Structure 1
């Protein structure tokens, strides 16, 4: 028997290291050529590492969350034959950038475990059949404080059934709790069902890895280095909403449905043309402000893996419909996990919106190293005084944050008031000059 050593490949983008975010195999697994072994992440792009050979996994060189240098051994596979160990990077056939999905990371290992289990031995008892149980009064099956080993699927079944995994003896490798162990524990009636309210003392530890760690690092950087000033102003969007409804009702079939965002993007393009210091990047290490002629608008988008910011490049050269189409395309790519690194970088100013959940006001965190971010809050119908009576109007707050090191409060207010004027008289958005 020989041994094949797989090294972390150069996944592109000029990076020297990558973070391990997911293992698809464990020691002892038999794998086929091209089977996915692991997933690594570099700057919001996730790449899967395939196996170049058939064999048995005998060694894993890192844990989830570890940062691994390019060229470092990550997997050893026992292969047939007497050939010496071959140390070579895995071949990444298509380094497709994608957003890691938390739900996928939690469920795929469970799927792989179930696929390897013969049909006759799969658990016969479903989650619904497991009744909530109280803590057993007998001795613990493992030392106090020892965390039980179990797959995500087993932990989910136990959590939904109210079973404390610390009370369940594990019969799997290294004492791992299996589905069969859960079934046996429930069948024995190991605890008495207790009605009513009960104290819960469990603590779940979740390692911050992948995209969530990138988000945490960037938010900490932005808040630690940028002194934020947030300016909130209400905007009457009644006329804009009427225009939007008319345009959607008469649009061509091949055109996208218009939301508020394309109008805001076009208004923002006009506003920063008058205040170019808002469309800028501040290199605070070098003490240089880079004012950009092109308006590259980051669109904060929530995905199953966390917050991502795809970028609409050169919004100044796009009309209303083109802005809408590009926003839709990038949002779909971010949510599907197919957005490229190019599509996720290069913004000069950012818009963030929570849609119908936008709240009354927010305090957006600037997308470092930009100097401004515009937050959209939800539209609400409110009574407004027109000089003689109260009339219902569609009102929305803009919550915008600025880097107070380079943007004065007066300039921030002028910028927001310009956006307000354009959105309240939307015909002005289309007037050139």
Structure 2
């Protein structure tokens, strides 16, 4: 056995990336393309694959380390059975040779046949009938059929799509394991299928039939069809056609419903990357998509993302970038680097806006009596050395509302399809500082009194302005309050600070005439703007939440109950 270095491959233009997970340990046996590490750039998390099959002898990085292209992250002993008889191993060992694409094509075809475990051996002639069953669906069960890609009597090649199914995470085609003629179709659109279920009946044409002629014609550069006549499956045939150039810029995706030629291993790789196979140009025989094609496509999309271009088919995360003109043609300009905080805030805001369906509920709260009470505490505040502002009342009212309407005190785990219900009430307060927006968190608001909340909020706000906040003082919020009341405005639509599901915006209070049943009375009204995640909160609950806040602020005695 020979020992080889495991190096960081091309990272699609990213400079340094952080190791966020080590997926193997010393002594583990791995196959080619098995993930070794997970790294995270500013744009995405990516698994780094093993360059070949073998045993891990050393891992030289740990979680939190920064790595770049070419860095050695471990050592491995290559398997001794990497001879020419195994095409998969060849393709791993010769990954940088001139015949890489040819070996990949053979590897993908072989995996497709071995996964289905139903090669169509050629015999002395004639035909036979086979029932095609649903193959392994990568852990999915009871997936609905959304499209039947063939009809009775159709002639199909091996790996042609028979049906298209849709799981919660992806749409995938189930390929034909044989070349032959479609007989009876045993499923319908809308049916839910699982591994092992009968899918279609087929007539398989054996040696001397149409299948042999198709195989021969597909290999235009082969001077002889000896391998097929000797009974070797189609996937073993060696393509000698020149590899088409990779040109995503000029490639036009196939029309909807068109067939995509790719083996199960390639489809799995595409699913892991979140790549849309219909947008990838295949470089193999018959425009078959190879692993290299998927990797090249993902690399190009990452580069386009970093350049601000549109990420096509990126699963909804990519948006059209804004191309800036040369502003210097209009006058004098000056450029300065964004601060780390500004850049992080911009990314978080964009991430929240893209992932959260926002709705904003508006309400005016009558705080006339609350303000009279607050101003009456001025002398007591001077003795305590604490200034009583409207914020402690808002904090206490929000804590009470969160306890009464716990659907606002949750986070959504969409990967596990779970709602995380929090048994604590921590509230973030947005603070405008010279360095940017900061959100310190007041813990256990429901257990604290108004004076304690006033002192703590003032202390945290000053720490934020002095850049003295600790990380722990900015974590754990269930809900956020952002107030522009000291500046002005009548309403605004704050962005939810995900993974929270709601945020309260507070605008400037103003005197308004309010009808009391007999006369109009001057009342001090405080505009409230509640933005919420519509996946977790419905409109009726949002209206109840703002109504509770209005009642609590209108009669602060209820805060003491």
Could you state the TM-score of these two structures normalised by the residue count of structure 2? 0.41
The SS at the match of 2:509 is strand
Per-residue deviation at 1:317? 1.4
Per-residue deviation at 1:314? 1.0
Please show how residues 5-404 of structure 1 align to structure 2 within 5 Å. 16=18, 201-251=331-381, 253-404=383-534
Give the whole-Å Cα distance in 1 for the aligned partners of 2:65 and 2:350.
Answer: 24
The SS at the match of 1:367 is coil
- Of structures 1 and 2, the one with the larger relative CO (CA 8 A, separation 6+) is 1
The SS at the match of 1:211 is helix
> 1:414 maps to what in 2?
544
Work out whether residues 295 and 313 of structure 1, in 8 Å CA contact, stay in contact via their aligned partners in 2.
yes
Runs of 4+ in 1 over 4 A off after TM superposition: 68-72
The SS at the match of 1:384 is strand
> 1:129 maps to what in 2?
none
Work out whether residues 281 and 371 of structure 1, in 8 Å CA contact, stay in contact via their aligned partners in 2.
yes
Per-residue deviation at 1:70? 5.0
Work out whether residues 356 and 379 of structure 1, in 8 Å CA contact, stay in contact via their aligned partners in 2.
no
Per-residue deviation at 1:330? 0.5
Larger-gyration structure (1/2)? 2
Q: Which runs of 5+ in 2 are unaligned?
A: 1-16, 20-41, 43-63, 69-327
Work out whether residues 376 and 399 of structure 1, in 8 Å CA contact, stay in contact via their aligned partners in 2.
yes
Give the whole-Å Cα distance in 2 for the aligned partners of 1:294 and 1:427.
Answer: 23
My pick for the range that moved more, 345-354 or 240-249, is 240-249
Per-residue deviation at 1:371? 0.3
Residue deviations 1:193-225 (CA, integer Å, cap 9, x gap): xxxxxx961233333340000000100010000
Q: How many residues align?
A: 245
Work out whether residues 16 and 69 of structure 1, in 8 Å CA contact, stay in contact via their aligned partners in 2.
yes
Give the whole-Å Cα distance in 1 for the aligned partners of 2:458 and 2:419.
Answer: 31
The SS at the match of 2:503 is strand
Per-residue deviation at 1:336? 0.2
Work out whether residues 255 and 321 of structure 1, in 8 Å CA contact, stay in contact via their aligned partners in 2.
no
Give the whole-Å Cα distance in 2 for the aligned partners of 1:384 and 1:363.
Answer: 25
Give the whole-Å Cα distance in 2 for the aligned partners of 1:252 and 1:329.
Answer: 16
Indicate yes or no: 2:556 matched with 1:426. Answer: yes
Give the whole-Å Cα distance in 2 for the aligned partners of 1:321 and 1:286.
Answer: 41
Give the whole-Å Cα distance in 2 for the aligned partners of 1:251 and 1:307.
Answer: 28
Residue deviations 1:166-186 (CA, integer Å, cap 9, x gap): 9xxxxxxxxxxxxxxxxxxxx
